[in-house]
């Protein structure tokens, strides 16, 4: 019996709390929307932000708020500026993404030339002897001299010289293949 009375009192308190909120909403909604419109300059956006402000008020302890109109004013100004900041950040992020996307988009001619270069490099590498090819491929794959020396079975002190000779040989063969004059 006592539990039922307590639940009824709690339900009545909740209804009174909700009625109180409805009156607050009806009284202050136009004021909050006007506050926000001064900042964001769009009525539909201001109405959306005002709903968020009232939702925040609904979820907060209204008994702890001493001056509800001042709280609503402060909350609406903060919400409007937060909206502007997030919109500006989104615009900057979108611009940056579109600049990066349009900054470099190779043409079909560039793609074709790149493919031709790749084929020429492959052809030169297959024509080189195995040790030079292994040295060049491992060097440009990020291996260090010690690993190169182990792979081609030479002293690590002679890797630099062998690598230099392989580069020169590659450059000469590449120029001959592409028809460049020396």
- DSSP of 25-93, one letter per residue? HHHHHHHHHHHHHHHH--HHHHHHHHHHHHHHHHHS-GGG-S-HHHHHHHHHHHHHHHHHHHHHHHHHH
Q: Give the model's pLDDT for residue 102.
A: 72
Number of separate helices (H) and strands (E) present in the chain: 7, 0
Residue-wise pLDDT for 142-153, tens only, equals 999 999 999 999
Q: Which residues of 57-87 are buried (b: 16+ CB within 10 A; e: fewer)?
A: beeeeeeeeeeeeebbbebbbebbeebeeee
Enumerate domains of the chain plus CATH numbers. Answer: 1-94 (1.10.1740.10), 108-181 (1.10.10.10)
Instruction: Report pLDDT for 15.
Output: 46
Of 62-66, 104-108, 130-134, 159-163, the poorest mean pLDDT is in 104-108
Three-state DSSP class for residue 104: coil
Q: How far apart are CA 138 and CA 159, in angstroms?
A: 12
The Cα angle at residue 108 between residues 107 and 110, in degrees rounded to 5:
65
Give the chain's radius of gyration (CA, Å).
37
> Is 33 within 8 Å of 43 (Cβ atoms)?
yes
Mean pLDDT of 95-114: 83
- How confident is residue 19, by pLDDT bands cut at 50, 70 and 90? low
pLDDT of 24 higher than 60: yes
Count the neighbouring beta carbons within 10 Å of the beta carbon of residue 33.
19
**How many beta carbons lie within 10 A of that of residue 124, not counting itself?**
21
């Amino acid at each position: 019996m006592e539990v039922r009375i307590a639940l009824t009192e709690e339900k009545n308190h909740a209804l009174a709390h909700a009625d109180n909120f409805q009156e607050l909403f009806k009284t202050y909604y136009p004021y909050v929307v006007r506050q926000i419109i001064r900042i964001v300059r769009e009525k539909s956006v201001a109405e959306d932000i005002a709903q968020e402000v009232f939702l925040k008020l609904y979820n907060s302890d209204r008994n702890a708020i001493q001056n509800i109109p001042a709280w609503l004013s402060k909350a609406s100004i903060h919400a409007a500026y937060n909206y502007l900041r997030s919109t500006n950040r989104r615009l900057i992020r979108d611009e940056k993404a579109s600049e990066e996307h349009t900054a470099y988009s190779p043409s079909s001619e560039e793609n074709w030339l790149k493919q031709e270069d790749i084929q020429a490099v492959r052809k030169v590498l297959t024509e080189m002897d195995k040790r030079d090819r292994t040295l060049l491929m491992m060097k440009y794959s990020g291996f260090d001299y010690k690993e190169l020396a182990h792979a081609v079975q030479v002293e690590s002190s002679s890797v630099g010289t062998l690598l230099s000779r392989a580069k020169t040989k590659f450059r000469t063969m590449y120029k001959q293949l592409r028809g460049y004059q020396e």
